Amino acid sequence: MHLTKTFPPFLQKQAPKETSLVYVTSGLALVPIVYCPNYCASKAALHHVCLAVMKEAKFNVKIIELLPRTVLTELCDDKRQLELKTKGGRLGMRLIDLVEEAWEGLNSSENEQVRVGKVPGMGLYAFNGNRNGSRR
């Protein structure tokens, strides 16, 4: 949140160059799961901050929300997430796939919310409505 207050004056001075602030939330901000409630709640809070800043901001800096699904890291293995043992081990997408899909979304003209991985089916439109007329 400190960056939300600190960066806009700097970014505004970059005009006429286009600038953006990108917030990384999660599909779990929209559809939480019970075994990581703190993570889901913090991402939901950031999601709502993004929505508020998008609507209320009085500066010419584009606000973008990146909503990735789970990414394969050491945090997503059955040693650290015991419940995964019953679900077949690892879950999530490869980091390179996240980067490629996120980059494509960030470079599109309709990039207010960039959904990466299986996030489009996680209730985004039921929760937010179809805000920009496209479905990714």
Domain membership of residue 130 (yes or no) is: no
CATH of the domain at 112: 3.40.50.720
Residue 106 lies in a domain: yes
For residue 107, being part of any structural domain is answered with yes
Q: Is residue 88 part of a domain?
A: yes
Give yes or no for residue 54 having a pLDDT over 50: yes
Instruction: With respect to residue 63, please indicate whether it lies within any of the assigned structural domains.
Output: yes
Within a domain: 26: yes
What's the confidence (pLDDT) of residue 127?
47
CA distance 33 to 71: 16
Does the residue 66 lie in any domain?
A: yes
Q: How far apart, in whole angstroms, are the C-alpha atoms of residue 132 and residue 4?
A: 23
- pLDDT value for 83: 64
pLDDT digits (tens, 9 = 90+) for 12-41: 888 888 888 999 999 889 888 887 889 899
Is it the case that residue 100 has pLDDT exceeding 90?
Answer: yes
Domain that holds residue 55: 19-120
C-alpha span between 71 and 99 (Å, rounded): 10
Residue 136: the pLDDT is 41
Burial of 102 (0-12, 13-18, 19+ CB in 10 A): buried
pLDDT over threshold 80, residue 67: yes
Q: Is residue 96 situated within a structural domain?
A: yes
Confidence of residue 78 (pLDDT cuts 50, 70, 90): low
Averaged pLDDT of the chain: 79
Using alpha carbons, select from 69, 112, 114 the residue that is nearest to residue 94. Answer: 69
Q: How many domains does one find in the chain? A: 1
